[in-house]
Amino acid sequence: MQEQLNTSHIKGHHLTSIERGKIAVLHAEKQSNREIARRLGINRQTVANELLRGEIDQVKKTNGRLTYRRE
């Protein structure tokens, strides 16, 4: 049976608030999703999904036109 030595996170379980906080801190430090995933022992797509989940679409009306930005 093959062992997976790079994952400390149990597959199929939700991220903890501590893991979410670590993702936010590492992302603020301009770390790549792959690097964040490697450090936390999770899949890089999980990091990408978490970062997208935390973003908010902002809508602002300027001179009668709507402008969108993501935070």
User: For 2-61, how does the pLDDT look when each residue is reduced to its tens digit (9 = 90+)?
Assistant: 455 555 666 777 888 889 889 989 999 999 999 999 999 999 999 999 888 876 667 778
Residue 3, pLDDT score: 53
For the whole model, what pTM was predicted? 0.65
Range of the domain at 36: 17-70
Q: What does R_g of the chain's alpha carbons equal in angstroms? A: 16
Q: Which two tokens stand for residue 52?
A: 């997208």
The count of structural domains within the chain is 1
Domain contains 9: no
Confidence at 63, pLDDT banded by 50, 70, 90? confident
C-beta separation of 44 from 33 below 8 A: yes
Domain contains 10: no
Confidence at 68, pLDDT banded by 50, 70, 90? confident
Place of tokens 């030595």: 5
Task: Specify the DSSP class assigned to residue 54.
Answer: T
